[in-house]
């Protein structure tokens, strides 16, 4: 007899790394890890990729593309999983993710690589959402927190080791294998969870006869397309005007997907969501250019730039652990205000190093301070969102904070790409890091508008 989730739950001694869950746990962790690796580690090699493909003008878009398309993947996969279960959605997204990696690894031009990044982001965003549904249906409630903690670790580990690994792969085998080498690992991970997926499909409930919610998907698609159009239009005639219009369209399209008053920094929950978008936008905008400026302005190798990113990952992880230990003494609003302020201070130090050509250690130190700020504030944002959400709105707000996270970073990167292209060659990094500082200030203002009583 096949084991259903019900019969599995009757095994009190079973753990996530013991039968019958071990293959599913390892495969699911691997999929999240690989999606995180491609999202984080590729930062190290992208300067060399853009130079080899003569596509420096599309550098920022190569980061914004997967973030923007990931929103579409998340929204579509969530709705699809609710109606047909997670199996078709997960397999489709894994194929999209792998196809994107293949396109990137074989790309003859930067334009083709950006297209691959769009596919990669759409599939990667969907994989994560589908896996959350798998966890809810395969594992008993007592094991679900352990699995989700493993997913969180799967995002932390690539920030620690991914940049250095990617740099070594690029130097010894070529940057193409940072993408191509992952495809086979995705296939292995999917193979590990296939028995669980086959069982879920065999025991799937009858699909409800309800229509697919097209409106949220339309809004997500419009927002993603507008973010990408912002940078593509920014270097044309009337580029600033066209880019500004595209940015306005993106903000208007995302409004229905967020709590009311989010874009106006309404007190309480709206400002929690806005803070997430601002912090992600500022940090990942700066992070994308850290290895680039280290190589161009200070002569770092790809590997050396990768080690600098890894050090920042360690700072983030250490600060994240510290805020967890201080959970009883440090309120959510206080952690968010301190974290966003440290992000501002660290980004400003990095910006000063770029402007005045100070030693590279100053830039790396500033980036480390910014990472500490993210480690303090970023984990508390989800906690604050849940604390401020009524029970029947947690699903919508959980989706909203993920959308704000991805769209905030994608929008900031697209704007940075426009400014990077318009600035004189000797000042193009100056304007990017100045933009990042400005966005951090928005994060501080939003964090200050979170009411302690609403999210403590």
pLDDT of 14 = 60
pLDDT of 7 = 40
CB 133 within 8 A of CB 81: yes
- Tell how many helices (H) and how many strands (E) occur in the chain: 17, 0
pLDDT of 216 higher than 90 = no
Residue 318, token pair as written in the block: 């250490």
CA dist 234 and 237 (Å) reads 8
Burial 243-270 (b: 16+ CB within 10 A, else e): bbebbebbeebbeebbbebbeebbebbb
Q: In 10 A of CB 436, how many CB atoms?
A: 27
For all residues of the chain together, what is the average pLDDT? 87
Q: Give just the sign of the alpha carbon dihedral 357, 360, 364, 369.
A: negative
pLDDT of 266 = 92
Q: Of 80, 7, 27, give the one whose Cα is nearest residue 196.
A: 27
Q: pLDDT tens digits, residue range 288-331? A: 999 999 999 999 998 889 888 888 888 988 888 888 888 788 88
CA dist 344 and 233 (Å) reads 29
CB 367 within 8 A of CB 312: yes
Q: pLDDT tens digits, residue range 26-39? A: 999 999 999 888 88
Strands (E), 198-263: none
pLDDT of 377 higher than 80 = yes
pLDDT of 108 = 96
CA dihedral 136, 142, 144, 149 (to 10 degrees): 170
Q: Of 447, 134, 136, 442, give the one whose Cα is nearest residue 272.
A: 447
In this predicted structure, which of 18-27, 225-234, 235-244 has the lowest mean pLDDT?
Answer: 235-244
pLDDT of 8 higher than 50 = no
pLDDT of 342 higher than 50 = yes
pLDDT of 432 higher than 60 = yes
CB 315 within 8 A of CB 375: yes
CA dist 126 and 104 (Å) reads 19
Q: What percent of the chain has pLDDT over 70?
A: 93
pLDDT of 130 = 87
Residue 265, token pair as written in the block: 């920094």
CB 163 within 8 A of CB 314: no
CA dist 313 and 231 (Å) reads 28
Three-state DSSP state, 150: helix
Burial 383-417 (b: 16+ CB within 10 A, else e): bbbeebbeeeeeeebbbbbbbbbbbbbbbbbbbbb
For 303, counting Cβ atoms within 10 Å of its Cβ (0-12 exposed, 13-18 middle, 19+ buried), the class is middle
Q: Give just the sign of the alpha carbon dihedral 426, 290, 65, 79.
A: negative
CA dist 306 and 296 (Å) reads 14
In this predicted structure, which of 80-89, 198-207, 338-347 has the lowest mean pLDDT?
Answer: 198-207
Residue with tokens 């190093």: 353
Sequence-ordered list of residues with C-beta below 8 angstroms from that of 415, at least 6 positions apart, any chain: 230, 231, 243, 247, 435
């Amino acid at each position: 007899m096949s084991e259903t989730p019900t019969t599995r739950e009757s095994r009190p001694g079973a753990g996530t790394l013991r039968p019958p869950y071990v293959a599913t746990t390892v495969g699911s962790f691997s999929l999240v890890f690989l999606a995180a690796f491609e999202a984080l580690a590729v930062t190290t090699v992208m300067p060399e990729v853009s130079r080899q493909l003569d596509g420096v003008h599309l550098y920022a878009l190569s980061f914004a593309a997967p973030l923007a398309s990931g929103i579409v993947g998340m929204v579509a996969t969530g709705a699809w999983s609710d109606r047909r279960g997670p199996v078709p959605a997960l397999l489709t997204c894994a194929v999209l993710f792998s196809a994107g990696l293949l396109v990137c690894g074989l790309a003859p031009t930067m334009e083709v690589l950006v297209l691959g990044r769009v596919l990669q982001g759409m599939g990667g965003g969907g994989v994560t959402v589908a896996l959350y549904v798998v966890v809810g249906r395969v594992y008993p409630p007592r094991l679900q927190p352990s699995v989700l903690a493993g997913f969180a670790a799967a995002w932390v580990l690539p920030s620690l080791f991914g940049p250095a690994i990617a740099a070594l792969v690029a130097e010894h085998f070529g940057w193409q294998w940072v993408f191509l080498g992952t495809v086979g690992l995705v296939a292995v991970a999917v193979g590990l969870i296939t028995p669980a997926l086959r069982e879920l499909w065999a025991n799937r409930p009858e699909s409800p006869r309800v229509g697919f919610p097209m409106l949220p998907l339309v809004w997500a698609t419009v927002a993603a397309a507008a973010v990408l159009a912002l940078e593509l239009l920014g270097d044309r005639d009337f580029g600033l005007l066209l880019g500004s219009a595209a940015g306005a369209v993106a903000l208007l399209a995302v409004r229905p997907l967020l709590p009311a008053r989010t874009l106006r920094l309404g007190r309480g929950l709206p400002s929690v969501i806005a803070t997430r978008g601002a912090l992600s936008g500022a940090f990942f905008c700066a992070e994308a250019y850290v290895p680039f400026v280290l190589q161009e302005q200070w002569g770092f190798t790809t590997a050396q730039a990768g080690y600098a990113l890894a050090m920042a990952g360690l700072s983030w992880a250490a600060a994240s652990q510290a805020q967890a230990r201080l959970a009883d003494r440090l309120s959510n609003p206080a952690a968010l205000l301190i974290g966003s302020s440290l992000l501002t201070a660290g980004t400003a130090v990095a910006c000063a190093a770029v402007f005045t050509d100070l030693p590279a250690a100053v830039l790396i130190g500033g980036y480390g301070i910014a990472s500490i700020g993210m480690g303090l504030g970023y984990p508390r944002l989800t906690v604050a969102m849940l604390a401020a959400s009524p029970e029947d709105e947690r699903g919508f707000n959980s989706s909203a904070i993920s959308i704000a996270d991805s769209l905030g970073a994608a929008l900031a990167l697209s704007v940075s790409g426009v400014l990077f292209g318009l600035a004189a060659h000797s000042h193009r990094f100056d304007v990017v890091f100045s933009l990042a500082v400005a966005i951090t200030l928005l994060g501080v203002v939003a964090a200050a508008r979170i009411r302690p009583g609403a999210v403590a």
